[in-house]
Structure 1
Amino acid sequence: MVKAKVVSIKKLSVRPLMGYVLVLPSEAESRTASGIILPESAQEKPAQGKVIAVGDDMVMENGKVLMAPVKVGDRVVYKKWGGDEIKVEGVEYKLVKFDDLMAILE
């Protein structure tokens, strides 16, 4: 089971641009199902988290508008190698393209 980080959401100094969402990744499991404690270097980073901010809808080359597929507060799964890690005010986030989002967790 992946644990979610708890942070207070305040006005951030970063706003995703068109076609991107800002995701707060869930914390990696620090223990296996059988109870073995994993060192940080062995913990697999989860490819899911909570949407903190959403960029503007994206205008495609053909002129059609691709609306943001998620909203703030959604829990999402994104491609394992998708997104770029950024650190804002000491907290690590992922900037993920709309195309790299795979599912909304309910």
Structure 2
Amino acid sequence: MAFKPLHDRVLVRRVQSDDKTKGGLIIPDSAKEKPAEGEVVSVGEGARKDSGELIAPAVSAGDRVLFGKWSGTEVTVDGEELLIMKESDILGVIESPVAAEKAA
């Protein structure tokens, strides 16, 4: 990928939601909402304090994150639709059960 976000910006790829409900009903594309979950593709070097000190980002490439419904700006990079947003727009990191078991 030929794009690296600056400062405290994060490049996110939306994760596709399921086409069916838990009850088995198929949801048409026109009724789907854009998912508020994604995978971090690239991260900037971080924000700076007033003193000039660098604050390292809390997320890294490959993390699955939740973000606000209206967060970010849609951009197309290498033919792929992605979101670029500030790190503060990210609500949290989703930890998979497998990763949690390895950490324990």
TM-score range for the pair, normalised by the shorter chain length: 0.7 to 0.9
Give the fraction of aligned pairs with identical amino acids, expressed as a percent: 37
CA distance in 2, matches of 1:103, 1:20: 15
Residue 101 of structure 1 corresponds to 90
* Segments ≥4 residues shifted beyond 6 Å: none
- Aligned residue pairs total 95
1:82 aligns with 2:71: yes
CA distance in 1, matches of 2:47, 2:92: 19
CA distance in 2, matches of 1:90, 1:39: 24
The alignment yields a C-alpha RMSD, in angstroms, of 1.5
Q: Residue type matched to 1:29 in 2?
A: D
Secondary structure of 1:92's partner? strand
CA distance in 2, matches of 1:66, 1:48: 24
Question: Please, what TM-score do these two structures have when normalized by structure 1?
Answer: 0.80
Question: Please, what TM-score do these two structures have when normalized by structure 2?
Answer: 0.81
Choose between structure 1 and 2: higher helix proportion.
2
- The alpha-carbon deviation at position 34 of structure 1 amounts to 1.3
Aligned 1:2-81 pairs, distance under 5 A: 12-61=1-50, 63-81=52-70
Q: What stretches of structure 1 of length at least 5 have no aligned partner?
A: 1-11
Give the conservation status (yes or no) of the 8 Å contact 1:75–1:104.
yes
Q: Residue type matched to 1:26 in 2?
A: V
